[in-house]
Amino acid sequence: MDSKEIKSTVSNLEKSTDDTTILRLLNILNDGVVPTEKLLRETKVGVAVNKYRTSNNSDINTLVKKMVRTWKDVVSSEKKKKSSEKAKEPASAAGGPSGGASSSSSATPSGKFHSGPRNPKTDGVNTTLYDNATRNASVSALYTALAIERSESGQIILGVARDIEIEVYKSEYMAINDSYRNKLRTFTMNLRNKKNPELRERVVTRKITPAAFVKMTPNEMAPESLKKEIEKLHKQNLFDAQGATEKRAVTDRFTCGKCKHKKVSYYQMQTRSADEPLTTFCTCENCGNRWKFS
């Protein structure tokens, strides 16, 4: 969830009065918020959630305590990591130009570089966002697919992967089922296609939003080259179908047995053995009466 979605959910939470709605909104925040010190300060989601710490509802009370404790731990860990990185900066600077990365390398969230294929482990990105192993595995798989041949930071790619998974999760009414797994498998396979860098670029840069992406059909996600090939085949099939249509000629040599008009269209076709005469198919242009003869 981005800050706008979090603020909207917090606003709905503050307006809610029944425990069922409050618990549902708290679960959405618990599943969707990837806490950072900046995000918590900007949205004030921690303050809003903490108000329900003393709720008489045990489910709400327990969930809020868990959320607040988890978010505090994450922020504390983030601060320690920043302090550690800051302490290492002089040593990194001493390396000079030779310590730089090649053009094929990618930066991790800690500022270090690695070469080769990217995934959460090589990028030093934590994709354990939920208590559910299936959801975490889905985020990890999406991350690896989105990171192919991309240079964006791990946090940017993680944000997109997380938001795609959340959209699929919401579309299944917050359930992990076969439909959820099949959708994630389809989206991951399409993003992982090395012949489809255009799709990855549009999704990672959010030209296609996660909400719009999860509604795309396989044809819409197909590589541009494949779309052009499909279009070419479609046009060829139309041409072939039109070519197979019998060419009709209009004559006054035949008389309609129904309305006696002489404006008749006809075509001929070999319907019997090759040594037999052609069959002539006639249509009256006046009344539509049809007949044939050999």
Instruction: Write down the pLDDT at residue 236.
Output: 66
Same domain, 72 and 143: no
Read off the pTM. Answer: 0.45
Q: Give the residue ranges of DSSP H helices in the chain.
A: 3-15, 19-32, 37-43, 45-50, 58-93, 120-123, 133-146, 154-171, 178-192, 197-204, 210-213, 218-221, 224-243
Whether 138 is in a domain gets the answer yes
Which of 281, 277, 293, 282 has the alpha carbon at shortest distance from 255? 282
Contact 199, 190 (CB under 8 A): yes
The DSSP line for 103-143 is TT-EE-TTS-EE-SS--HHHHT-----SS-HHHHHHHHHHH
Query: What is the chain's alpha carbon radius of gyration, rounded to the nearest angstrom?
Result: 32
Same domain, 223 and 122: yes
Same domain, 224 and 253: no
Q: Tens of pLDDT along the chain (294 residues)?
A: 788 888 888 888 888 888 888 988 888 888 888 888 888 888 888 888 888 988 889 889 899 888 888 888 888 887 777 777 766 655 444 344 444 433 344 554 444 444 578 999 999 999 999 999 999 999 999 999 999 999 999 999 999 999 999 999 999 889 899 999 999 999 999 999 888 899 999 999 999 999 999 999 888 888 777 666 666 666 666 655 554 445 678 888 889 989 989 899 988 887 777 677 888 889 999 998 999 887
Looking at residue 254, which CATH number applies to its domain?
2.20.25.10
Report the domain count for the chain.
3
Same domain, 218 and 134: yes
Find where tokens 């992406």 sit.
213
Same domain, 226 and 257: no
Contact 138, 169 (CB under 8 A): no
Same domain, 164 and 59: no
Same domain, 134 and 212: yes
Whether 240 is in a domain gets the answer no
Same domain, 116 and 71: no
Which of 81, 19, 74 has the alpha carbon at shortest distance from 46? 74
In our burial notation (b when 16+ CB lie closer than 10 A, e otherwise), range 44-69 reads: ebbebbeebeebeeeebeebbeebee
Domain boundary among 33, 58, 77: 77
- What domain range includes position 284? 249-293
Instruction: Write down the pLDDT at residue 100.
Output: 40
Structure tokens at 196: 């489809």
